[in-house]
Structure 1
Amino acid sequence: MRVVIAEDSVLLREGIVRLLEEQDCTVVAAVGDGDDLLKAVAEHRPDVCVVDVRMPPTFTDEGLRAALVLREQYPETGVLVLSQYVEERYASELIGGNPGGVGYLLKDRVADVDQFLDALRRVAAGGAALDPEVISQLLARSGKADPLAALSPREQQVLRAMAEGKSNTGIAQALVVGEGAVEKHISSIFNKLRLSSGDGDHRRVMAVLRFLGT
């Protein structure tokens, strides 16, 4: 897996580089601002980018704006955004539109190495990985669950776990059920949300976007 890292904090940037290299990932570039991120992606065409929301010069939304450009210009490159806090507007912009290859995690999650690496791999493979806190705040903001009215409480639990980026095995472990039951719930979710088999592997991501109302 080839990775570009965009993080203005030298300590955190170097920490992520070391972490990924210890996991046999290839960090092709590690930069400190949005402009250099765009240049690095154009040059190296990585599998995935790790991007801080707030970077120089104003430390407001430079990283997020660069991430949105990447999503449009390089849809084959996954984008995993890291943020100190849940930025609801930014999260909605990021996960809307192209349904795949995107993640949004709070920086605290980087300390959980397994969770961070799982999210990075899912995003690189075209999936979604959204922080549970991001999900909770987006749902609270939307105040509506009309697309999900047909889902049972258990199906909504499964869909929430999918939104967090959990695999079928991870969902089964979290809900203490068998993987066969998880597969049945997911199939039912796809049917109720009218996501046909023709949508291919993106059905999981599309279901998540429907869940979040984006």
Structure 2
Amino acid sequence: MRVVIAEDSAILRDGLAQLLTLRGVEVAAAVEDAEALLTAVDEHRPDAAVIDIRLPPGHTDEGLRAAVAIRRSSPRVGVLIFSQYVETKYAAQLLGAGTGGVGYLLKERVVDIAEFVEALRRVAAGGTALDPEVVAQLFGASHRASALDTLTPREREVLGLMAQGRTNHSIAASLVVSERAVEKHISNIFTKLDLPPSETGHRRVLAVLRYLEVSGT
């Protein structure tokens, strides 16, 4: 797996690059600003990009805006936002694009490097990796009545765990139910969100993205 990193803190940037390298990840470039990130992605065509939100020159949402641009111009490049903050506007655009290969993790909540690398690999492979706090804040920002309102509390809970990239087995263990029960809940979710079987097989990703839609995006 080949990645690029965009992080304005030199210590964090170099530290993350070394940690990933030690775990067999090729770090093609580690840059400090959004412009250099876009150049690096165009030059190296990585499998994924790890991006902080607040990058120079403004230190506001340059990283997220660059991530949205990358997904539009290079949809095969997975994008993993790795930040201290949850920014709902551009995050909703990023996560609501209708495809997988996106993730959003909070720095202070990542305590296991192996889990971080696994999340990065999942994003690079076209899946999702979302911190529960990110899911909660994005979902709380949505005020639009939709098919999501028809989901039961348990179905919402299952969908929230799906958004974290959990497998059926992991969801079952977390909720202390059988995998058969989880399969039934997921089937109900697909039905209520009007996601019939398709040749692409992306219903799971589409259900998660539907869950994260925010009004006005």
| TM-score of the pair, normalised by structure 2 | 0.90
- Any gaps of 5 or more consecutive residues in structure 1? none
Q: How many residues align?
A: 214
Provide the residue aligned with 2:185 in structure 1.
185
Aligned position for 1:81: 81
The answer to whether the Cα contact below 8 Å between 2:98 and 2:206 also exists between their aligned partners in 1 is: no
Structure 2 equivalent of residue 91 of structure 1? 91
Aligned position for 2:176: 176
1:115-152 deviation digits (Å, cap 9, x = unpaired): 32232122111112222111111222214553123323
Offset from partner CA, 1:47-95 (integer Å, 9 cap, x none): 1100011111121122112111101000000000122111121221221
Q: CA deviation at 1:15?
A: 1.7
Share of identical aligned residues, percent? 58
Q: Deviations over 1:91-117 (max 9, x none)?
A: 212212232111111121333324322
Q: Partner residue of 1:102?
A: 102
**Mapped partners of 1:89, 1:33: distance in 2:** 20
Asked if structure 1 preserves the Cα contact closer than 8 Å seen for 2:5 and 2:29, the reply is yes
Q: How does 1:144-155 map to 2 (within 5 A)?
A: 144=144, 146-155=146-155
Number of the residue aligned with 1:137? 137
CA contact (8 A) 2:96 2:210 kept: no
TM normalised by structure 1 equals 0.91
- The amino acid that maps onto 2:103 is G
For 1:199 and 1:104, how far apart are their aligned partners in 2?
A: 27
Amino acid of the residue matched to residue 211 of structure 2?
F
Unaligned runs of 5+ in 2: none
Q: Check the 8 A contact 1:29/1:40 in 2, yes or no.
A: yes
Match of 1:58 in 2: 58
CA contact (8 A) 2:64 2:91 kept: no
Contact 1:127 1:202 survives alignment (8 Å)? no
Secondary structure of 1:117's match?
A: helix
Contact 2:5/2:31 (8 A) holds in 1: yes
Q: Could you tell me which amino acid in structure 1 is paired with residue 91 of structure 2? A: A
Where does residue 157 of structure 1 map in the other structure? 157
**Contact in 2 for aligned 1:83/1:105 (Cα 8 Å):** yes
